[in-house]
Structure 1
Amino acid sequence: MTVKEVKNGYKIDFSFDNERFIETIKFRHSKSSLTEVNRLEGIFYEAIYRNDKRALQNYPHSKILRKAFKCESDSFTIDQYSSIWFGRHQANWSHTTIRDYGQKYRTHIKENFGDITLREFTPSMYHDWAKSQNLAGKTINHIRSILNQIFKEAYLDEVIDVNPIEKTRRSKVIQEEPEPFTQDEITKILAALETPYREFFQFAIWTGLRTGELLALRWQDIDLKNGLAHIRKNITLGKEKEPKTKGSIRKIEMLPEAIEALNSIKNSKYYDNFRVFIDPKTKTTYKYADGLRKYVWMPTLKRIGVTYRYPYQCRHTFASMMLSEGKNPMWVASQMGHADWGMIRKTYGRWIAN
Structure 2
Amino acid sequence: MDRKPEFQMPRGVSVRAFKTEERIQVAFSYRGVECRELLPPQKITKTAVQLAGGLRMEIQRKVENGDFVFRDYFPNSSKLAKFESGSGKKVVNLGKLMDAQAAIYERQEANKKMSASTVAAYVKALKSEKMKQWRDRDVSDVAPSEIRAWIAAFNVTAKTAKNFITPMRSIMRDALNDDRITLDPFSRIALPQLLKQTARDSEYKIDPFSREERVKLIEACRPDERPLVAFWFETGLRPSELHALRWSRIDLPGKRLLVDIVQVEKKEQEFTKTAAGTRWVDLSPEAIAALEAQKPITLLANDHVWHNPRKGQFWETADQMRKTLWVPLCPRAGIEYRNPYQVRHTYASSLLTAGENPWYVGEQLGHADVSLVFSTYGKFIHEDYQKPTRQPNLKVV
TM range (shorter): 0.7 to 0.9
Q: Does 1:307 align with 2:328?
A: no
Show the counterpart of 2:172.
151
Q: Does 1:219 align with 2:242?
A: no
The TM-score normalised by the length of structure 2 is 0.66
SS at match of 2:206: coil
Deviations 1:65-88 (A, max 9, x none): xxxx96635x32322332343445
Q: Map 1:67-106 onto structure 2 (within 5 A).
A: 72=89, 75-88=91-104, 90-94=106-110, 96-106=117-127
Contact 1:208/1:336 (<8 A) preserved:
yes
CA shift, 1:312, in A, is 1.0
Alpha-carbon distance change, 346 to 309 in structure 1, aligned in 2, over 3 angstroms: same
Alpha-carbon distance change, 293 to 131 in structure 1, aligned in 2, over 3 angstroms: same
SS at match of 2:179: coil
User: What amino acid does structure 2 have at the position aligned with 1:229?
Assistant: L
Contact 1:333/1:344 (<8 A) preserved:
yes
SS at match of 1:282: coil
Show the counterpart of 1:204.
232
Deviations 1:180-226 (A, max 9, x none): 11111001000111233111111111111011111111111111112
Q: Distance in 2 between matches of 1:239 and 1:102?
A: 15
Larger Rg: 2
Q: Distance in 1 between matches of 2:228 and 2:376?
A: 25
CA shift, 1:152, in A, is 0.7
Q: Distance in 2 between matches of 1:149 and 1:71?
A: 27
Alpha-carbon distance change, 314 to 72 in structure 1, aligned in 2, over 3 angstroms: same
CA shift, 1:230, in A, is 0.5
User: What amino acid does structure 2 have at the position aligned with 1:72?
Assistant: K
Q: Does 1:334 align with 2:350?
A: no
Alpha-carbon distance change, 226 to 280 in structure 1, aligned in 2, over 3 angstroms: same
Identity %: 29
Q: Distance in 2 between matches of 1:89 and 1:280?
A: 34
Contact 1:270/1:283 (<8 A) preserved:
no
Query: Structure 2: 5+ residue runs without aligned partners?
Result: 1-85, 111-115, 384-397
Q: Does 1:251 align with 2:268?
A: no
Q: Distance in 2 between matches of 1:269 and 1:99?
A: 32
User: What amino acid does structure 2 have at the position aligned with 1:258?
Assistant: A
Q: Does 1:320 align with 2:374?
A: no
Alpha-carbon distance change, 100 to 249 in structure 1, aligned in 2, over 3 angstroms: same
User: What amino acid does structure 1 have at the position aligned with 2:273?
Assistant: K
Deviations 1:231-258 (A, max 9, x none): 0111112221122321111111112221
User: What amino acid does structure 1 have at the position aligned with 2:92?
Assistant: F
Show the counterpart of 2:144.
123
Q: Does 1:112 align with 2:133?
A: yes
Q: Map 1:13-24 onto structure 2 (within 5 A).
A: none
Q: Does 1:190 align with 2:207?
A: no
Deviations 1:295-352 (A, max 9, x none): 2211121123211011111001111111111111111111011112111111111111
Show the counterpart of 2:22.
none
2:260 to 191, 213, 232: 232
The TM-score normalised by the length of structure 1 is 0.74
Q: Distance in 2 between matches of 1:212 and 1:104?
A: 21
2:303 to 274, 278, 296: 274
Alpha-carbon distance change, 81 to 71 in structure 1, aligned in 2, over 3 angstroms: farther
Show the counterpart of 1:135.
156
Which range is displaced more, 125-134 or 79-88? Answer: 79-88
Q: Distance in 1 between matches of 2:121 and 2:155?
A: 19
Figure out how many residues of one structure are paired with residues of the other and give that number: 284
CA shift, 1:112, in A, is 2.2
Query: Structure 1: 5+ residue runs without aligned partners?
Result: 1-68
Q: Distance in 2 between matches of 1:290 and 1:89?
A: 23
